[in-house]
Amino acid sequence: MKGGVRMKLGEEEIGEFLSKTDGWKRDDERWISRKYRFSKFLVGIAFVNQVAEIAERMNHHPMIAIDYRLITLRLSSWNAGGLTAQDFEGAAAYNQAYEQVVEKS
């Protein structure tokens, strides 16, 4: 980050990050998303609580949609006008949280 401003990634960098971030896809030029499925509603909510803790630590918050046992996360850095490395750091952290929550359930 330069001067506290997140730097928007170029197309090549986005492609590289996406290839290393399991399950995430590009929605458009500004957003990435992933759908997580759970065996039970309460397991999904436990995951959302983990997402909230990660987002607070990172000071970078995803859009969250909860549909019974399906949780959808969307990430973008609005202040950079698109995707930044922090979006992909968040995506990787959410994937790790998913694995931990599913393992415990």
57: in domain = yes
Picking from 58, 63, 69, 43, the residue whose alpha carbon sits closest to that of residue 92 is 58
Q: In CATH, what number is assigned to the domain containing residue 55? A: 3.30.1360.20
- pLDDT at residue 82 tops 70: yes
34: in domain = yes
Q: What is the distance between the alpha carbons of residues 94 and 48, in angstroms, rounded to a whole number? A: 9
Provide the token pair at 15.
């492609």
What domain range includes position 81? Answer: 30-104
The number of folded domains in the chain is: 1
11: in domain = no
66: in domain = yes
100: in domain = yes
- pLDDT at residue 29 tops 60: yes
For the CA atoms of the chain, what is the radius of gyration? 14
Provide the token pair at 91.
């995506």
67: in domain = yes
Q: What is the distance between the alpha carbons of residues 81 and 78, in angstroms, rounded to a whole number? A: 5
4: in domain = no
- 10 against 1, higher pLDDT: 10
Entry pTM: 0.93
- pLDDT at residue 3 tops 60: no
